[in-house]
Copies of this chain bind each other. A is one copy, B any other.
């Protein structure tokens, strides 16, 4: 642990704790896994957090991400848009991170439509730079929750590249979910475009770019000690199960009740 670096983030961490969303997300930490333990070294020489970070330009990062999408697709494009710059500005440990391996995040992991590669890639970047919650800081965890809520609630894409691959205009859509299947499905319905269409690919490239833009804004705030978590949702706290907030979209009016813990007897 780099205690010195963690201490320098004291202001940021305090702000996280007093943020409205952070309270719910903090509650989720104990719901999910139980006891928060200090990190134990397992041998990874890059497992010292936070990684050195220099502020990046959100628009420039998004432009890189947009172009990288056409080479490595959503997840790896988000990672590479940030790490390619930090390799230049900082060097290690970014030079040792194999970003291109994350091509498989495409299509919600090799086409299975689970989490969209854009938030999946953004979550990886946030937690690589800031570190996992077991290492003593929770901002990476909170930033991942912020990513997914922002992605679910925002009319995407928000970013328009300078040099477009195709010039078509098309609708933006709000997914209400971080899942690829739901996000791309709602857009395909609104745009009446097929998965294989150039417009769908362009839309996904811009969604990745929009996600990279938003992530850099959060990371820059964190670097300046003024990051505040914006997420206000914890399915575990609210519903007793991991999940999203769009329960009725799959369950209709028949949302199941999760089994509850047995009530403890009063002594």
Contact = CB atoms under 8 A, between A and B. Distances in A.
Contact of A194 (B234, B244, B258): B258
A194 B261 contact: yes
Contacts of A193: 259
Contact of A236 (B47, B145, B195, B256): B195
A181 B244 contact: yes
Contact residue range for chain A? 35 or more
B241 A184 contact: yes
A73 interface: yes
Q: Which 9 A-B pairs have the closest CB atoms?
A: A103-B132, A113-B243, A113-B242, A114-B115, A250-B250, A96-B96, A107-B242, A181-B243, A46-B98
Interface of A: 25, 28, 31-34, 37, 39-40, 42-47, 49, 71-73, 76, 80, 83-84, 87-88, 93, 95-104, 106-115, 119-120, 123-124, 126-128, 131-135, 140-141, 144-145, 148, 178-181, 184-185, 188-189, 191-197, 201, 234-236, 240-244, 249-250, 252, 256, 258-261
